[in-house]
Every structure is written in structure tokens, then in C-alpha cells.
Structure 1
Amino acid sequence: MSSPIRKTASARPAFAVRTIHVLAWLSGVLVPAVILTLLAFLIIRGSGALGLTLFFGDTPPFYAITGRLPVWDGIWPACIGTISLLVLTMVLALVPGIGCGVYLACYASGKVKASLGFCIDLLAGIPSVVMGLFGFLLMLALRRTITPDAEPSMLLAASCLALLVLPVLVSTTRGTLEALPDRLHLTASALGMDTWQALRHVLLPASTRGILGGILLAAGRAAEDTAVIMLTGAIANAGLPAGLTSRFEALPFSIFYRASQYRDAADLQQGFATTLVLLAISVSLLSAAAMLQKKLEKQWQGQGNEHR
């Protein structure tokens, strides 16, 4: 007969496994529950303000879109400012981000790869408010040295955001290239291609979808940041962007301003509606990135031909 001590000892692992399963299940349910709760709260509080008045105020939409009349009570200038800032950020970040990822994946040696990878990870861990303070101090340094007329601007905000999203581009590009099948490298070598030729004709075309997914992830990260633009160029009621060296309106700062300076319940409701607009932009970018990444994985697993 087995002793009670042995029965107790054998029951402990089973109890631990069941406990882990229950905790994992609860954690899996908790995350979507929190997301759905927040989304429902935003929809309930802000859906009533969605409409042309939210975007254009009292200005006719045609005249607002064409820039013939200013928009003072709508978020149309903030939408244009956010899109302009997003485009400028990606223009500044694309070449160094993708180039660094290609270098780490195909050219860097062991020590260089480890050192540069550590620097990229360190940059990824910098909070956005610290990056915003860096941009603000950079503006003060420029004002005291090279350009006395330096002011917070879209160019300064885009430069700081480019540094903020740079690790996303580097990590995505590097991971996509390193995840390519070995047969592609062997094929390129069998054809007599050097590293650059293999990248140009084989590896980069094969990793286009993954890199594009990383670009969309970086764009979604830049679109929702508030701390950087608040310290480096965003302002309330600036109108449409006048240039790279001028201040601008942006949706994240508009949400912050409306939430902290609202005058009545209708103004606060417009703040919630603006949050829904920004959330829709971010979700669209992230969903597109997830779809591209899924298609890439199916392609290299041989499942992409099922739909042809």
C-alpha cells in the first residue's frame, strides 16, 4: 500500500498544473475584457459627437478641406497635422532604420552585432517623455549656438519621433531577414551572387511584406505619441501646418488639451470622439501590419499557394 505522504507528494504537481492553467485562462480573458471595456466606454462617451461638426466645426467642409477658410472648432487641422507629422517621421526614420536592420542581419560580425543590438534595445527602452525633453533641450542648444530663432516645430517633433520608432524598424527588418529560409541564401550563393546582389535580387524582395509590416507598426507608434509632440511643437488652434519650421496641431495633443481644458460636457464629449478617431487610425495601421505579417508567415510555410 502507498503511504499518505506519497499520495500527497503526487497530488502537489497536479494541483500546481491546474492552478497554472486557471491563472493562464484568467489572464487570457482579462486582457480582451479590459480592452473591450475601455472601447465600450469610449464609444458610449464619444459616439454622440462623431460627425462633420467634430471635424470642421462651423466651417463648410469643402472650404475647410481646400484650405480656403480656417477651422477653429474642429479637429480637421489636427488630423492633417497628425498625417503630415507621420509622413515626415517615416521619411526621416525609414532609411536609417531599414539600413541598420540590414547591416545587423547580413553584414555585422558577432561583437559588432551584439554591441549595436544592445544600443538598439537601449534606445527602445527610452520613455517618450525623455525623448521629448531631449528634443526640447536640443532646441534650446540650437537657439544659443547656431540658430537664435529656433522654435518648437514639426521638423523637431518628427526628428524625435523618428528616434523613438527607429528600434521598431531595425528589429523588424533584422528579424524578417534572419527568418528567411536557408534555401534562399543557398540559391543566391549557387548563382554566384555576392552579399549585395543577394540582398537586392533575392532577400529584400522576399522580405518586403515583413518590412512593410514593421513600417506600419512604427507609424502606429508615432501616431499616438503625446509627450514628444507636446514638448517639441504641438499647440492648440494652430490651423493647418504652415511649414516644417512652424507649430502644428495633432490629435494626441488635441485630446490632452480637450480633456484638461474642457468647458462643458459637450466639449468633453468631443474629446472622447477625438480619441475614437485617433484610435481608429492606430488600429487601422496595426491591423494592416498584422495582416502583412500573417501573409508573410504563410508564404514561407508553403500555405500561401492554397489561395492561388
Structure 2
Amino acid sequence: MKFKTYKSILATFTFIAILLVYTLLGFIIYKGFDTISLELIFQDVRVLDAILLKQRVFDGIFPAIVGTVMLIFLSLGFSFIFGFASGIYLSIYANKEIKEYINFCFELLSSVPSILIGLFFLLLSIYLHEKFFTNFLPSLLLSSLALSLLIMPYIVKNTQYSLDNIPKSIKLLSLNLGLSKTKNLFLVLIPYSSKELLSGVFLALGRACEDTAVIMLTGAVASVGIASSIFSKYEALPFYIYYISTNYSDENELNQAFSAALILLCISLFLFLITKLIQKGVKKKNGYY
């Protein structure tokens, strides 16, 4: 009887949590769907001209969409290089004392509020601008570096966890057949856990998509067009949503913020689907799917 009671209570809370998620998504779709249009994205610029960069879009959110995608890939690139390497080192090569210390450092980093990371990189840019590089200002590059530091703990912990949870028989099989530890890592362990490793990338992707505090301090602005380089200021959907939500003059403008949020969700979903396809492809190629 107690088991059924506990099961019912847990099922109820699970249902409520799922209901809250779908309520949130439904509310965003309800408020934002009606105002989504080509005019919102491109304003009076022809779609093809905007995509081919023949004409700049200043009033639409197309530059914010492009800036968001650029920001995501740059920050994922930086964080993946260092996070993946750190996770491999912690799982395969580090001894117990070093592992505990480095894990503590990354756990401490993951608990730092994003606004503090944004403030640190803002002050860093000011210092570098005054002392060394007069052209170094808040930019897409600075935002990407700040975001990569923010999402790196997710990739590190997921990489370490994925490799640690590979069955011991799989870990030892190739070593017993004569492969070195490094070849065993790259030829066996990483392909075997590729699905879990890519899942960590998606978790980091979701974190990179939504953060506003970091980018508003390190280079994102309301209206500048598409960034001409990684050293330029840029537009991004999270900052656009924040800016419109705090400065709207009527309900239609507020609904445009919901439309931008809906587009941001669609970008996240699209990248998630790409990640899932890559997961399936890697598993199938390596014989684990």
C-alpha cells in the first residue's frame, strides 16, 4: 500500500512538472505565433538580398538570428576544445587527488553567477584596451569566450561521466589485445560513448542559447546589423528579447519579444535535431547503434 502511495505521489509531481513545461511552451507559442512574419525578421529588405548579405537589415531581427547562431558555434567551439580535453584527462589520466581538486574547481566555476563572468570579461576588455590593444573592445569574440567559460563545466563533467561509465570489460578488452591507452581512448572509448558525449554538447548548447547577462556586458547591442567580424559588436536574440520586454510601448511590441523567443526555441530545436542525427550517424558508423 505504501509503495502505491509513493508511486502515485511521484507520478503526480512528474505530471505537474511536465505540465508546467508544456504550459510555458504553449504560452510562448500563443503570444508569439501571430506576430511572426517575414516583416518581423527582414522588415522591408528582400529575403534573398538579406541572406546573401547584399543589403543590411537594421529594423528586423535577422541580424539577431545570425548573431545568435554565430555566438553559439563560437562559444561551443572554444568550450568543447578545452572541456573535452579536461574531461578526458580527468577520466583516463588524472590520479585521485588531482581529480578531486580539478572537479572542485569546475564545480566552483559552475556555481558562479553568469553576471559575474560577464563583468569579469568586461573589466578584462577595458584593461586590455587601455594597456595593450587599443582596438580591443566588447565584441562577438569576447562574448564567445565568456559564454565558453560559462558552459565549460557542463562539457567537462559530461565527458568525464560518459567515459567513467563505460563497462570495465570494454575498457580492458582492447588493452588486453595490445592497444596503447591512447589508441584505446580514440578508437574504442570515445566512439563507444559518442552518444553520451554529444548529449553533453546539447546541454551546453541550451545554456549558450539563453544567457543574457553575459552577452549584454560583453558586446551585444540592440541595433548594429550583422557583425562584420568576430571583433565587432553584434545582435543576439536573448538581448533583443530583454531589450524589447523592458522598453515596449504597446502590446504588439511585447508580442514581438515572444515571437523572438519562439524563434530562439526553434533554433535550439533545430540544433538539437542535428545533434541527434550526428549521434545516430556516429553510433551506426562505429557499430554501436
Of residues 244, 258, 264, the one that matches 1:258 is 244
Aligned to 2:172: 186
- In the TM superposition, what is the alpha-carbon distance from 1:284 to its structure 2 partner? 3.9
- 1:215-230 map, 5 Å: 215-230=201-216
User: In 2 relative to 1, CA 250–185 (structure 1 residues): closer, same or farther, beyond 3 Å?
Assistant: same
Of residues 41, 45, 69, the one that matches 1:55 is 41
User: In 2 relative to 1, CA 18–208 (structure 1 residues): closer, same or farther, beyond 3 Å?
Assistant: closer
- In the TM superposition, what is the alpha-carbon distance from 1:73 to its structure 2 partner? 2.1
- Are residue 248 (structure 1) and residue 247 (structure 2) matched? no
Aligned to 1:152: 138
SS at match of 2:169: helix
- In the TM superposition, what is the alpha-carbon distance from 1:149 to its structure 2 partner? 3.5
Give deviations 1:151-201, integer Å, cap 9, x for gaps: 110110000001011111111111111111222222112121221121122
- Are residue 69 (structure 1) and residue 43 (structure 2) matched? no
Inter-partner Cα distance in structure 1 for 2:89 and 2:145: 22
Aligned to 1:280: 266
Give deviations 1:190-234, integer Å, cap 9, x for gaps: 121221121122112222222222222212211111111011000
Tell me the amino acid that sits aligned with residue 154 of structure 1.
Answer: L
Aligned to 1:213: 199
Inter-partner Cα distance in structure 1 for 2:276 and 2:15: 21
Of residues 94, 98, 109, the one that matches 2:80 is 94
SS at match of 2:132: coil
- Are residue 176 (structure 1) and residue 162 (structure 2) matched? yes
- In the TM superposition, what is the alpha-carbon distance from 1:40 to its structure 2 partner? 1.8
Aligned to 2:101: 115
- In the TM superposition, what is the alpha-carbon distance from 1:75 to its structure 2 partner? 0.9
- Are residue 203 (structure 1) and residue 189 (structure 2) matched? yes
User: In 2 relative to 1, CA 259–76 (structure 1 residues): closer, same or farther, beyond 3 Å?
Assistant: same
Aligned to 1:5: none
Inter-partner Cα distance in structure 2 for 1:295 and 1:33: 33
Larger Rg: 1
Tell me the amino acid that sits aligned with residue 257 of structure 2.
Answer: G
Inter-partner Cα distance in structure 2 for 1:165 and 1:135: 15
C-alpha contact (below 8 Å) 2:151/2:204 kept by paired residues:
yes
Inter-partner Cα distance in structure 2 for 1:273 and 1:65: 20
Tell me the amino acid that sits aligned with residue 188 of structure 2.
Answer: V
Inter-partner Cα distance in structure 2 for 1:289 and 1:172: 15
C-alpha contact (below 8 Å) 1:217/1:286 kept by paired residues:
no
- In the TM superposition, what is the alpha-carbon distance from 1:141 to its structure 2 partner? 1.7
C-alpha contact (below 8 Å) 2:143/2:218 kept by paired residues:
yes
Flag structure 1 segments of 5+ consecutive residues without an equivalent: 1-13
User: In 2 relative to 1, CA 209–29 (structure 1 residues): closer, same or farther, beyond 3 Å?
Assistant: closer
Aligned to 2:21: 35
SS at match of 1:28: helix
Inter-partner Cα distance in structure 1 for 2:224 and 2:129: 22
Of residues 104, 124, 141, the one that matches 1:138 is 124
